[in-house]
Structure 1
Amino acid sequence: MRHRDRYDLPKGHMEIGETERETALRELQEETGIQSSAIDIDPDFRFED
């Protein structure tokens, strides 16, 4: 997603009962309009704000 001076990745919160993969696919579609089933989750990735 493009902001004024930077690009950002789709992100959001998991809904109850949702897997990490389901969350990632839903957020991708909600925030970019892209529907996909091709996604890999890196279990070692951590983000600190």
Structure 2
Amino acid sequence: MCAMSRTMVNRYRAEGRYPQAVPLGDRRIAFVREEVLAWIDARIAARTAA
């Protein structure tokens, strides 16, 4: 959904700048689609507000 590398997503997660992951099992996670879309929309809004 977003063209960021896994490394960048993990960096943003560590900094608290990306939606929280949902654990699915051993070494597997997922993200809630609506939360990721809201995060993308917020980034777009911040861009247009600047």
TM-score past 0.5 threshold? no
- Which range, TM-score by smaller chain? 0.3 to 0.5
Q: Between Structure 1 and Structure 2, which shows a larger proportion of helix residues?
A: 2
If asked which structure has higher relative contact order (CA below 8 Å, sep 6+), I would say: 1
TM-score where L is the length of structure 1: 0.33
TM-score where L is the length of structure 2: 0.32
Q: Between Structure 1 and Structure 2, which shows a larger proportion of strand residues?
A: 2
